[in-house]
Amino acid sequence: MSEWAPDILGEGFERLDLDLGADDEGPLTATLVRSLPRPLGFWSRLVALARPLEDVDVLYVHGWSDYFFQRDLARFFTDRGARFFALDLRKYGRSLHEGQTPGYIEHLDDYGVEIEQALAVMGYEVPDSQPPGAAASGAPAPGRAGPRRLALFGHSTGGLILSLWADRHPGIADALLLNSPWLALQIGGAARRALAPVVNLRAKFTPRELALPQLDLGFYHRAQQLVAAPGEQESVDLDWRPAQTMPVRAGWLSAILAGHARVDAGLEVGAPSCVLLSARSLFGLNWREEMTRCDTVLDLDGVASAALRLGRSVTVERIDGALHDVFLSAPDARAEAYRRLERWLRGWSAAG
């Protein structure tokens, strides 16, 4: 394994490359980024002033056509004492190598390799996975070895990936935090079930061919540019986070549909879950200024409904004026998203 090295995000951030072996496109790596809390000063230690998340580790996973770049999100956690880690998954961002198909994967469970390597670096032992839904059926959770509490934090597709992983590894995470998780397709369940056989057939014979035309008109990117916090968007690498999403290929879409079917059947992630969503979705073929105050990516009513199938303890927070990534919204909605997250974390931390 490589050594920790300075990260592109600058002071306070380091990166570690994880070796995942190889596939038919060559060597596979993932990248773990970390940001650690500042040590408490002498007087704070003297009066035993504890930060609320001193015993918490966070592992963050990004969404589709994305990578980790959110310094402010990391600092929210480190300012409260948590250790913050983020994964750039294989074929994304820091982990994307020449000749690879960006973001491509055929089975979402394959991401368990980098998730579990990251957790090992963080000091956690992960037992073998259970069959999907084992915890919901009453099978005992095997537990895990780790000195701190673990919060898994996923955005969009990363939220789907971590939800499925937690269902197969109940008892590992102490909390599941989801920022606009892609738990349901933008069409209804019946349409998804009708679409799946067609996509799966194409995935079997021509997995890397395009499954859909480019449907992203760049409105989400434009909205972020208009409302971003100062300095946040200027450093974003558009090769890693393009203005329009990466091409949707049959093998990848088949994996997503399989993940949605598992959510639809019901999960048990084995931990309390906090799901943060915009109050409203908005789609269209023409740009409108109100797109700076809505989620233009997901059908949020469908996501909110699907979120209730994550487990036995789920909180859904709907935030007026938020974008698809609620923490990249306009200042008032962004501040409200952080307030809601902090309120939930304080209650969770106190209960724990």
Lowest model confidence (mean pLDDT) among 103-107, 333-337, 348-352: 348-352
For residue 166, the Cα-to-chain-centroid distance in whole angstroms is: 12
> Which residues, 6 or more positions from 124, have their beta carbon under 8 angstroms from its beta carbon?
144, 145, 146, 150, 172
Quote the pLDDT of residue 267.
Answer: 98
- What does the alpha-carbon distance between residue 319 and residue 227 come to, in Å, rounded to a whole number? 16
Domains of the chain: 5-351 (3.40.50.1820)
- For residue 132, pLDDT over 70 is answered with no
Lowest model confidence (mean pLDDT) among 9-13, 82-86, 163-167, 232-236: 232-236
Quote the pLDDT of residue 134.
Answer: 58
- The model's pLDDT over 210-219, given as tens digits with 9 standing for 90+, comes to 988 888 999 9
- For residue 328, pLDDT over 50 is answered with yes
Quote the pLDDT of residue 324.
Answer: 98
Amino acid at 219: F
Cα→Cα distances 36→5, 22, 82, 276, 327, Å: 14, 31, 7, 24, 20
Q: What is the mean pLDDT of residues 137-146?
A: 52
Quote the pLDDT of residue 213.
Answer: 80
- For residue 84, pLDDT over 90 is answered with yes
SS3 207: coil
- What does the alpha-carbon distance between residue 219 and residue 231 come to, in Å, rounded to a whole number? 20
Q: Which letter does DSSP use for residue 132 in this model?
A: T
- What does the alpha-carbon distance between residue 266 and residue 264 come to, in Å, rounded to a whole number? 5
Quote the pLDDT of residue 140.
Answer: 46
- Percent of the chain, pLDDT > 90? 79
- What does the alpha-carbon distance between residue 248 and residue 252 come to, in Å, rounded to a whole number? 7
- The model's pLDDT over 266-293, given as tens digits with 9 standing for 90+, comes to 999 999 999 999 999 999 999 999 999 9
Quote the pLDDT of residue 195.
Answer: 77
- What does the alpha-carbon distance between residue 326 and residue 320 come to, in Å, rounded to a whole number? 10
Quote the pLDDT of residue 198.
Answer: 82
Q: What angle do CA 73, 36, 145 make, to 5 degrees?
A: 105
Which range, 38-42, 95-99, 127-131, 200-204, is most confident? 95-99
> Which residues, 6 or more positions from 339, have their beta carbon under 8 angstroms from its beta carbon?
none
- The model's pLDDT over 11-64, given as tens digits with 9 standing for 90+, comes to 999 999 999 999 999 999 999 999 999 987 655 554 547 899 999 999 999 999
Q: Which two tokens stand for residue 43?
A: 């007087």
Give the dihedral sign, CA 307/272/330/231.
Answer: negative
Q: What is the mean pLDDT of the chain?
A: 91
Cα→Cα distances 257→154, 303, 309, 326, 344, Å: 18, 14, 16, 24, 30
